[in-house]
């Protein structure tokens, strides 16, 4: 074993036990919708046809990336964000209760967007 390996093992043994905590966050410029992956990259958002961008990420309730092919045909309550080309680039899956809380928060006004951001902060902050 190398000297640096021994030093690393000793440092890890002496360090207190660390637990990984994943804190979910979503950017402020997201919108709620119901997403259905029909045939990747084709999707529907609230029943309207749309597309995923190349490299799009769909994050599950545990913050892990879901492959779009693994959720084909499922209706997912999400908040999503578009890329510069207008394609859906990121989506965060919500539970039905969370979606019910944030679903009507953003009415297009600045106050509605703030309300949505506050609700998302509460929803994602409650997940540990």
Contact 27, 17 (CB under 8 A): no
70 confidence band (pLDDT: 50, 70, 90): very high
Contact 76, 36 (CB under 8 A): yes
What digits encode the pLDDT tens for the residues 73-125?
A: 999 999 999 999 999 999 999 999 988 888 767 676 778 778 888 888 887 77
Hey, what are 13's tokens?
Answer: 């043994």
SS (H, E, C) the chain: CCHHHHHHHHHHHHCCCCCCCCCCCCCCCCEEEEEEEEECCEEEECCEEEEEEEEEEEECCCCCEECHHHHECCEEEEEEEECCCCCEEEEEECCHHHHHHHCCCCCCCHHHHHHHHHHHHHHHHCCC
pTM for the full model?
0.75
What confidence score (pLDDT) does residue 17 get?
Answer: 59
Whether the per-residue pLDDT at 3 is higher than 80: the answer is: no
What confidence score (pLDDT) does residue 4 get?
Answer: 63
Place of tokens 């390996």: 5
Hey, what are 35's tokens?
Answer: 């997403």
What digits encode the pLDDT tens for the residues 5-52?
A: 666 666 666 666 555 565 666 667 889 999 999 999 999 999 999 999
């Amino acid at each position: 074993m190398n000297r640096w390996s021994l030093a690393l093992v000793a440092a890890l043994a002496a360090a207190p036990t660390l637990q990984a905590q994943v804190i979910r966050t979503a950017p402020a410029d997201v919108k709620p919708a119901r997403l259905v992956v029909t045939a990747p990259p084709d999707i529907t958002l609230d029943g309207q046809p749309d597309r995923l961008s190349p490299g799009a990420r769909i994050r599950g309730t545990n913050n892990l990336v879901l492959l779009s092919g693994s959720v084909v045909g499922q209706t997912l309550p999400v908040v999503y964000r578009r890329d510069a080309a207008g394609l859906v680039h990121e989506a965060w899956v919500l539970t039905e209760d969370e979606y019910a809380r944030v679903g009507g928060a953003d009415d297009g006004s600045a106050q509605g967007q703030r309300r949505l951001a506050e609700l998302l902060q509460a929803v994602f902050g409650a997940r540990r």
